[in-house]
A and B are shown apart, each in its own frame.
Chain A
Amino acid sequence: MSEIVIAEAARVVIDSDRAIVEARQQGRQLAIKLGFSPGSATLLATAISELARNILQYAGEGEIVMQLLDRGRDQGLMVLAHDRGPGIADLSMAMEDGYSTSGRLGLGLPGVRRLMDEFQIESGVGTGTRVRVAKWNCM
């Protein structure tokens, strides 16, 4: 894919539930600045909220990085959520609706995939988890 990262726009350390709110608010502001509709900005903010909570809940600490993307006509926002937590033993299971090891809804990761245009996840037991998602504002 010929997309280019044009700038790092925000970086939020996720180490408390307050940081979850901070990350999603920054994501919304960036999306609005990029010209996303309020609806799309809400999808993005909701996805960031889920990713940040996963970090806090399963790894205790991690980071959300937001980058501006450009692929010619369209601009986008990429969100990278990474941690050095215990990792996910069974990725395909974690991507199933209704699956959760926390006793909650278990919609987190599959929900995030539905909210965004691109979704990639890498995780290794003991090495942590990296989720990269992107949303495009197609002109």
Chain B
Amino acid sequence: MDVPILKQGPYLIATIQSALTDADLLRLRDTIVQDVGVHRAKGVILDVTALDVMDSFATDTLRGIAHMTRLRGAKTVIVGIQPDVAYAMAHMGLKLEGIFAALDLEEGLAYLDQPLEAGRGR
């Protein structure tokens, strides 16, 4: 299952539309890390609204995407983690560690629109 990646201004928006296998997740990771360079993107939004399970592999892979895109000069924000998914992740002890998460696409775009320095020195 391929995840459509939309370019909007300086940002890439990847919208997961159904359950993903491990191979799908790894392919998504590789595509995004490539596309950041191809489109000279400054930010990436990963919309996981449609994911009904985020297990350790999915969490690990999303963390990897955020880390790798940062090394390529783009910020990543994860949006749309569902309440039940958040409940299970908290129960299990899964953490996003250092990746920004926002409620939805709108909040995610607002986060990316902040200058990189925002939030520092306060």
Q: Residues on A close to B: CB < 8 A?
A: 17-18, 20-21, 24-25, 28, 38-39, 41-43, 45-46, 49-50, 53, 97, 104-105, 107-108, 110-112, 114-115
Contact = CB atoms under 8 A, between A and B. Distances in A.
Contact of A53 (B20, B54, B57, B59): B57
A24 B88 CA distance: 14
A24 B92 contact: no
Interface residues of B, number: 23
A104 B62 CA distance: 13
Contacts of A104: 56-57, 60
B27 to A, nearest CB: 11
A46 B53 contact: yes
Contacts of A46: 53-55, 88-89, 92
Nearest to A37: B84
Contacts of A24: 53
B45 to A, nearest CB: 23
Nearest to B89: A46
A42 B21 contact: no
Contacts of B55: 46, 49-50, 53
12 contacts: A18-B21, A20-B21, A42-B52, A42-B53, A42-B84, A50-B56, A105-B56, A107-B56, A110-B93, A111-B56, A114-B92, A114-B93
Contact of A43 (B57, B83, B87): B87
Contacts of B3: none
B60 to A, nearest CB: 5
Contact of A105 (B21, B60, B87): B60
Interface string B1-28: 0000000000000000001111100000
Given A111-B92, A114-B93, A42 B22 contact: no
Interface in B73-94: 83-85, 87-89, 91-94
B103 to A, nearest CB: 18
For the complex of A and B, list the 3 residue pairs with the smallest distance between their C-beta atoms, beginning with the closest. Answer: A42-B84, A111-B92, A17-B21
Contacts of B60: 104-105
A42 B85 contact: yes
Most buried by A among B19, B83, B92: B92
